[in-house]
Amino acid sequence: MGASAGNQQGKLAGKTALVTGGSRGIGRGIAERLGRDGARVAVHYGSNEAAAKETVAAIETAGGSAFAIGTELGTEGDAQALWSAFDAHADGLDILVNNAGVGTSSSFTDTDEAEFDRLFSVNVKAPYFITQLGAARLRDGGRIINISSGLSRAAAMPEIMAYAMTKGALDVFTRNLSKELGPRGITVNSVAPGIIDTDNNAAWLRGEANKAAWESSAKLSALGRVGDPSDIGAVVSFLASDDGRWVTGDWIDATGGSLM
Ligand code: NAP
């Protein structure tokens, strides 16, 4: 359990949040923001425990409260294992962010069954069953936020077709789940980032050798820059707060105007 009671003045004070893949990248940006807003945050990770501990420490240093839970997603029994780890730290939750996801570099032709299954088991099957088992723990009036991608609605990008398909499936899940859980006052939304500076994109986006890719990515956005994980944390924070109570079943464009 975190040493601090969290930011008692924050708009999420008294709430508990779980961010899958909260240890790095976009998930870390979300976890840090929810922690700053006063929520107690479960920072989930797959294999990199050190990164999760770093994120927990960053939240605590900022005056918040957090704990780390590790479960490899895309494996049998993953959702049950995740909730068992969560239950050891907290009684119920208010905000579930299904963020953990994997990308691909396989084209339509190159994608084999193993790669297709890996993408769908981590990006679609895991959020489905994490949410199915989590629904009983989620308090009425809670929030579910699924991290989708601008690619689920952008112009077709067949270079990473199977990945984009997983996000399309997640968006359908969002819409249906919002009706399923609406009677309990629970909102469900997809947040769709554009290109964000994370490890996921490091190989083609970061460093001197990739300067041209960085610049063309920045130009894609109407705002002229590459997105930062904190940009997505801000959108999730709004949806998670009381101010987001009348937004549900929606797909929120968080691409910085990259889809125009
Ligand atoms: P990232 O930097 O690679 O971080 C991924 C996070 O998810 C890590 O915390 C990682 O934990 C966890 N994770 C990945 N695979 C896992 C598995 N099999 N089991 C358990 N945990 C796992 O990724 P990101 O770029 O922040 O992406 C986060 C989400 O945003 C994904 O759903 C992605 O599709 C979506 N997205 C990203 C972008 C972008 O430009 N970056 C754009 C649109 C949408 P470990 O390190 O411990 O494995």
User: Is the model's pLDDT at 151 over the cut of 90?
Assistant: yes
pLDDT at 152: 95
pTM, two decimals, is 0.97
Return the residue whose CA atom lies nearest to atom 10 of ligand 1: 21
Which range is least confidently modeled, 6-20, 22-36, 42-56, 223-237?
6-20
Ligand 1 atom showing the smallest separation from residue 229 Cα: 26
pLDDT at 155: 76
Q: What pLDDT, in 10s, does the model give residues 83-126?
A: 999 999 999 999 999 999 999 999 999 999 999 999 999 999 99
Helix (H, G, I), strand (E, B) or coil at 44: strand
pLDDT at 5: 54
Cα angle: 143, vertex 13, 134; to 5 degrees: 30
**Ligand 1 test: best mutation among 200, 214, 236, 253, most atoms within 8 Å of CB?**
200
The model's confidence at residue 144, banded by pLDDT at 50, 70 and 90, is very high
Residues 90, 14: Cα–Cα separation, whole Å: 12
Residues 254, 248: Cα–Cα separation, whole Å: 16
Return the residue whose CA atom lies nearest to atom 41 of ligand 1: 196
User: Is the model's pLDDT at 4 over the cut of 70?
Assistant: no
The model's confidence at residue 3, banded by pLDDT at 50, 70 and 90, is very low
Q: N- to C-terminal Cα distance for the chain?
A: 44
The model's confidence at residue 1, banded by pLDDT at 50, 70 and 90, is very low
Distance 183 CA to ligand 1 centre (A): 31
Q: What pLDDT, in 10s, does the model give residues 41-65?
A: 999 999 999 999 999 999 999 999 9
Instruction: Give which of 257, 260, 200 is closest to 229, Cα–Cα.
Output: 200
Distance 100 CA to ligand 1 centre (A): 5
Distance 251 CA to ligand 1 centre (A): 19
The model's confidence at residue 156, banded by pLDDT at 50, 70 and 90, is confident
pLDDT at 84: 98
pLDDT at 7: 77
Distance 199 CA to ligand 1 centre (A): 9
User: Is the model's pLDDT at 30 over the cut of 80?
Assistant: yes
For the segment 205-222, the average pLDDT, to the nearest whole number, is 97
What's the distance, CA 108 to chain centroid? 25
Return the residue whose CA atom lies nearest to atom 36 of ligand 1: 149
Quote the tokens at residue 37.
Answer: 């807003």
Residues belonging to the chain: 260
pLDDT at 78: 98
Residues 58, 64: Cα–Cα separation, whole Å: 9
Ligand 1 atom showing the smallest separation from residue 48 Cα: 47
Q: Are 32 and 55 in contact (CB under 8 A)?
A: yes
Residues with active-site annotation: 163
pLDDT at 8: 82
User: Is the model's pLDDT at 2 over the cut of 60?
Assistant: no
Distance 125 CA to ligand 1 centre (A): 15
* Mean pLDDT estimate for the chain: 96
* Ligand 1, CB cutoff 6 Å, lining residues: 21, 23-27, 45-48, 51, 72-74, 99-102, 122, 147, 149, 193, 195-196, 198-201
